Structure 1
Amino acid sequence: MTDLSVSRRAALGLIGATAVAPVAARAAETPALPGALWFSTQADAPWQKQSVPVLAEVSKGSLFGTDATINIANPRQTMAGFGACFNELGWVALSHLSPADRHTAMATLFAPDQAAFTLCRTPVGANDFARRWYSYDETPGDFDLKSFSTANDLQTLIPYIKAAQGFNPDLKLWASPWSPPGWMKKNGFYAMARPWPGTPETGIRNDQTGHEGEDAFIQEDRYFDAYARYFRRYVEDYARAGITIGTVMPQNEFNSAQPYASCTWTPQGLARFLPFLGREMDKVGARVFFGTLERGKVEMLDAVLADPKAAAVIKGVGVQWDGKRALPQIARQYPQMDIWATEWECGTSANDWHYARYGWANLRRYIEFGASAWDYWNAILPTGGLSPWGWPQNSLIVVDPVTKSWRLTPDYWLMRHLSAYVKPGARALSVDSFLGFDDNIAFRNPDDSVVLIANNALGQKQKVRYALGGKALALELPADSLNTIVLPAGALG
C-alpha cells in the first residue's frame, strides 16, 4: 500500500484513524433490510459500509434457487472469543505515542464498536517479544519461591492489560510460559538453541542446546511442585492487580528448541507435570489446557490423555502453527474437547494484504474443525516488528517511533471482520454448498442475530444467494473482498 497518499491512507483507516467513512450510497434499486449491517474490505478499502438487501422467500421444492445454505438448525461449537497477545514490546511501542493517540489505538482493538476483542493471551514471564529474558524467580534452588516477583510486569504487561480492560472490563485472559526459570531446566539456560546467523548472541553454550523429543525440564517431583506453585503465585499476583487469568497452558510450543525463551517437553513429561499444575490451579480457579501444540501429531495429545491423572486435569487443547494439521483428528477423536487457536502464524513484518488473505484461509480451517477461540499473535509492534532475538513479525497495529504515529494493518481488518460482531457464546454454523460457494463461515449470536463472513477471492464481483431459515439473502460481493454481514434478531421470522 505504499503507493497510497498519506491523506488517502488516513481516510481508509490505515494510519491512526478509528472510523472509516462509508462509500457513497448506491442507487436505491433494492430495498434495504432494517437493522442489518454489511462491511466489506478490499486491499485498499477497508471496512466499507454496504446496504443489505431484504430477505426473500426460498422457493419451495427448488433445488437450484440458492448457491449456499447457512445451517441454522444444527449449530456447532460455542465460541469463547477472539483476541491477540499482550507482549512487552507492544507496550513499549505504545509509549512512543501521545496519551490521546495511545487511547485511540487501544480503542481500535478493544472498544465495543470496533474490534471488540474478548479473549486474549499473555505470557508467564518473558517470551520472544519481551524486552529481554526474565523469569519471576532466577534464584537457583529457590524451591520455596522466596525470591518470586512479578515486579517487572508492573512496568509493561500489567498496564497494557489494564488499558485494555478500560474498554472491556469483561476481557478474558489465558497465559502460558515460554520458559521456566533457568535453574529448573537441565541446561540451566532460558534458550534451547544457538542464535540464528546474523542475530544477537545470547551466551548459550553448545552443550546447553536441546532437541525436540527431550524433556528439558528437570523431571523430579520437587521441581514439578515448585513450578506448579510458581504458576499459582503468578495467577495470585495478577489477581491482586485486578487481572483474572482464567486458563493456563503448561508450555508454549513444547516441541520447539528455540534461540529465545523455550523449553522442550515430551508428552510423557507433560503428563507427569500436569497433576501438580492442576492441583495448584484448582486453588485459584484457573483451568488447564494441553498445549500449545505446534506439531501436526494428534498422538501427542493421545499420549497425555492416556495418563488418567493428567487427563483429569485437561479441559481443552491449544493449537498453533503446524498443529493445524492435527485438527481433523482432534475434532474426530475428541468431539467434546475445547479447541483454541492460540497463535496466528507470525509473518515477516510485511503486514500486507497477501498475508491477511492467507490468514483468512487459516482461520477458516480452525473454525471448520471446531475451534472456539482464535488469538492473533502480536497486537502491537514498532516499525519493522523486530524481536530482540532477530525475528521481524507482523502485528495488528504498527507504531512508528520516529514520527510518533500509528497505522492499522490488513491483519487488523481481517480480525475485526470476526471479532466485531461474533460474540462470546455464539454458535458456529456450517455453510454448505455443492456449487462451490463454500468460502464462508457463519455464527448465531446469543441474541439470535446471525453473522456471515463471506470471502470473494476472485478478481471480479461475485453474486451469491444464501438460504437460511427458509429465507434467501442475495449478495453481490466486491472483487477480492472479505465481507461481514449481520442479520438482526427477528430477521428470519
Structure 2
Amino acid sequence: MNAKLSRRHALGAMGAGLIAPVAARAADKGTLDGALWFSTQSDAPWQSRKVPALAPANPANFFGIDATVNLAKPRQTMRGFGACFNELGWVALSALTPADRHAAMATLFARDQAAFSLCRTPVGANDFARGWYSYDETAGDFDLKRFSIANDHQTLIPFIKEAQSFRPDLQLWASPWSPPSWMKKNGFYAMAKPWPGGKDTGIRDDQTGHEGEDHFIQEDRYFDAYARYFGRYVQEYAKLGITIGTVMPQNEFNSAQPYASCCWTPEGLARFLPFLGREMDKVGTKVFFGTLERGNPALLEKVMADPKAAAVIKGVGVQWDGKRALPEIARHMPDLEIWGTEWECGTASNDWHYARYGWTNLHRYITFGASAWDYWNAALPTGGLSGWGWPQNSLIVVDPKAKTWRLTPDYWLMRHVSSYVQVGARAIPVDSFLGFDDHLAFRNADGSLVLIANNAQGQAQRVRFGVAGKVLEVDLPADSLNTLVLPASALA
C-alpha cells in the first residue's frame, strides 16, 4: 500500500469509528525499546512512528540542543482530561446501533484510546439540553419537596453510565447554567433576547439582565435552599453510583445569554459560597470558583478577599476569555488549583484549523498551571446545532439519518494529550532559549515521560530534546502534533 493510500485508509477507519490496535513490535537497531510515537497531520491521524534511540549528551553537542525537558523541576499534578456530558450528545449517540454507540464511546473512554478521566456534567439544563428544565420548578418550594432528577434518567445518567463501563474511576464535576427560575429576580431561565434566527423563548424586555448585576435573589432563605438543591443533586447521583467530586456555583457568571444563564457579581457569589460550602462538606464534594469566562482576575480576587468565601474555594475553573486572567491567577494565587473548564466551542466547522487553535489554548492553560482541561461537546449530530441556535464543534459527529459516526480533528488533539498522561502525572517544563517551546511534557508516576511535540511549520522540523542528560533527536512531520512516550528505563 503506498503512502497516499495508507493515509486514505486511516481516514476511512477514522470516519467509520474503527481504530486498529497498535501492534507490539520488537525494537529495531537504532530505535528506543519500549517507546511509542504517534503523529497526526490534517489528513493522517495517529500514525505510528519509530522513536530513535537516545544519544549521550556531551559538551560538544550542548549548543545543538533545541529544548530541554527539565525533569528536575516538576510542576502541577494533573487531575485529568475529558469533555462534557450534554443531553444533545446522548440524543445523537442514541441514533446509532448499540454496537456502534459502544464503539464511539470507546474512542473517548477506553484506556487504549483517549482514556478520558475527568469530565463535566450540567446541573439541570444548559444550552445543549433538549429544552429548559431544573430539578425543582415549583415556585416557593424552599423545602425542595418536588425536587427530582427524573429528566436525567433519560439522557445524562445513561451517558455517564456508558462512560463508566469503560472507566469506572471516571471523575466528575458539575455546574448549573441557571438556578430554578423562581430563585431568580426575573423569574425566567434565560437572560437575553434570542439571537437572529434563534429560538423564541418568550422572554420579556423587563426580564432581560446584564453583566455586573446579581440576578439570583440575594436573600438567605434562597441561598440556603439553593445550597441544599446542590446537595440533593449530589446525593441523588450518588445513589446511582455516580460521584460528583467537585461543583462550581455558576457557569459563566458574567454572561447574560438567550439560553439558561444567571449573572452574579463577585459580592453575590461571596455571599452564597459559605452556604454552598456547608452543604458540600456534608456530601464530601469540593467547591471551585467559576466558571470564570472574563479575562479579569479581580473578579476572583474580590471573592478571595472575603474570608468566609475564600475558605470554601479549593480551585478555580477558567474558560473562554478567562484565559487572559491565567498569568495573574498563577502569579498571585499559586496555591489555588486551576482547571480549564471548556474548549471554545467553534461553529461546527470541525476542521484541522480549529484543532490547531485548540492546541494553542491548551498549551497556554498547562503552561500557566492548569491541572485539568475539558473539551466541550463530546458528541453532536451533523450540523452541531444547539436548541437555542448556535452550531458548535464536537469530538464525535453523528449522522442520525445514515446512522453513522466519525471522529473530528479536535478528537485527535484531545487524544494526543489524554491517552498517556495518567491522573497524578506531573507537568514538566520544556525550556528553550531558541524558541523551541511549543511543546508540553508530563512525568507519570511510573516514571515514564510523555512529550507532546508540536510542529506548526509547513515543512518537517528536526528538533533535538535534552532529556535526563541524553539527547532525543526527532524529525517532526510538517504541520503535525506528536505524542512520544519514553519508558522510565530510558531516563535512568
TM-score by length of structure 2 reads: 0.97
Deviation at 1:63? 3.5
Deviation at 1:14? 2.9
Alpha-carbon distance between aligned partners in 1 of 2:358 and 2:472, rounded to the nearest angstrom: 26
CA contact (8 A) 1:58 1:65 kept: no
1:322 corresponding residue in structure 2 = 321
CA contact (8 A) 1:12 1:20 kept: no
Alpha-carbon distance between aligned partners in 1 of 2:376 and 2:224, rounded to the nearest angstrom: 30
The correspondence of residues 56-455 of structure 1 with structure 2, limited to 5 A, is 56-60=55-59, 62-455=61-454
SS of match in other structure, 2:489:
coil
Alpha-carbon distance between aligned partners in 1 of 2:9 and 2:334, rounded to the nearest angstrom: 45
Alpha-carbon distance between aligned partners in 1 of 2:20 and 2:409, rounded to the nearest angstrom: 14
Deviation at 1:8? 3.0
Alpha-carbon distance between aligned partners in 2 of 1:324 and 1:368, rounded to the nearest angstrom: 11
Q: Deviations over 1:213-263 (max 9, x none)?
A: 000000000000000000000000000011000000000000000000000
1:43 corresponding residue in structure 2 = 42
Alpha-carbon distance between aligned partners in 2 of 1:479 and 1:61, rounded to the nearest angstrom: 29
Q: Deviations over 1:55-100 (max 9, x none)?
A: 1111137530311100000100000000000000010001100010
CA contact (8 A) 1:124 1:178 kept: yes
CA contact (8 A) 1:82 1:375 kept: yes
2:477 corresponding residue in structure 1 = 478
Aligned residue identity for 2:98: P
CA contact (8 A) 1:10 1:17 kept: no
1:8 corresponding residue in structure 2 = 8
Q: In 2 relative to 1, CA 488–42 (structure 1 residues): closer, same or farther, beyond 3 Å?
A: same
CA contact (8 A) 2:11 2:44 kept: no
Deviation at 1:437? 1.0
Alpha-carbon distance between aligned partners in 2 of 1:231 and 1:21, rounded to the nearest angstrom: 42
Alpha-carbon distance between aligned partners in 2 of 1:399 and 1:379, rounded to the nearest angstrom: 11
CA contact (8 A) 1:15 1:407 kept: yes
CA contact (8 A) 1:295 1:321 kept: yes
Alpha-carbon distance between aligned partners in 1 of 2:436 and 2:10, rounded to the nearest angstrom: 34
CA contact (8 A) 1:13 1:46 kept: no
1:31 aligns with 2:30: yes
Q: Deviations over 1:386-415 (max 9, x none)?
A: 001000000000000010000000000000
CA contact (8 A) 2:15 2:405 kept: yes
Q: In 2 relative to 1, CA 406–194 (structure 1 residues): closer, same or farther, beyond 3 Å?
A: same
Alpha-carbon distance between aligned partners in 2 of 1:311 and 1:22, rounded to the nearest angstrom: 48
Alpha-carbon distance between aligned partners in 1 of 2:34 and 2:404, rounded to the nearest angstrom: 35
Aligned residue identity for 2:129: A
Flag structure 1 segments of 5+ consecutive residues without an equivalent. none
Deviation at 1:436? 1.3
Aligned residue identity for 1:204: I
SS of match in other structure, 2:465:
strand
Q: Deviations over 1:354-393 (max 9, x none)?
A: 0000000000000000000000000000000000100000
Alpha-carbon distance between aligned partners in 2 of 1:277 and 1:61, rounded to the nearest angstrom: 60
Deviation at 1:162? 0.3
Please report the RMSD computed on the Cα atoms of aligned residues, expressed in angstroms: 1.7
Alpha-carbon distance between aligned partners in 2 of 1:162 and 1:420, rounded to the nearest angstrom: 21
Deviation at 1:13? 3.6
CA contact (8 A) 2:192 2:256 kept: yes
Q: Which moved more, 1:224-233 or 1:196-205?
A: 196-205
Aligned residue identity for 2:17: A
Alpha-carbon distance between aligned partners in 2 of 1:61 and 1:15, rounded to the nearest angstrom: 48
Alpha-carbon distance between aligned partners in 2 of 1:408 and 1:250, rounded to the nearest angstrom: 32
Deviation at 1:417? 0.2
Alpha-carbon distance between aligned partners in 2 of 1:479 and 1:65, rounded to the nearest angstrom: 21
Deviation at 1:200? 1.6
Alpha-carbon distance between aligned partners in 2 of 1:468 and 1:13, rounded to the nearest angstrom: 35
Alpha-carbon distance between aligned partners in 2 of 1:44 and 1:469, rounded to the nearest angstrom: 34
Alpha-carbon distance between aligned partners in 2 of 1:216 and 1:237, rounded to the nearest angstrom: 27
2:53 corresponding residue in structure 1 = 54
CA contact (8 A) 2:69 2:428 kept: yes
Alpha-carbon distance between aligned partners in 1 of 2:112 and 2:421, rounded to the nearest angstrom: 12
CA contact (8 A) 1:12 1:46 kept: no
Alpha-carbon distance between aligned partners in 1 of 2:36 and 2:443, rounded to the nearest angstrom: 15
1:19 corresponding residue in structure 2 = 19
Q: In 2 relative to 1, CA 9–155 (structure 1 residues): closer, same or farther, beyond 3 Å?
A: farther
CA contact (8 A) 2:11 2:43 kept: no
Alpha-carbon distance between aligned partners in 1 of 2:239 and 2:8, rounded to the nearest angstrom: 45
Deviation at 1:20? 4.6
**Count of paired positions:** 487
CA contact (8 A) 2:83 2:375 kept: yes
Alpha-carbon distance between aligned partners in 2 of 1:200 and 1:303, rounded to the nearest angstrom: 36
Deviation at 1:21? 7.8
Deviation at 1:198? 1.1
Q: Deviations over 1:431-451 (max 9, x none)?
A: 011111111000000111000
CA contact (8 A) 1:382 1:399 kept: yes
Aligned residue identity for 2:424: G
Q: Deviations over 1:315-335 (max 9, x none)?
A: 000000000000000000011
TM-score by length of structure 1 reads: 0.97
CA contact (8 A) 1:11 1:17 kept: no
CA contact (8 A) 1:199 1:389 kept: yes
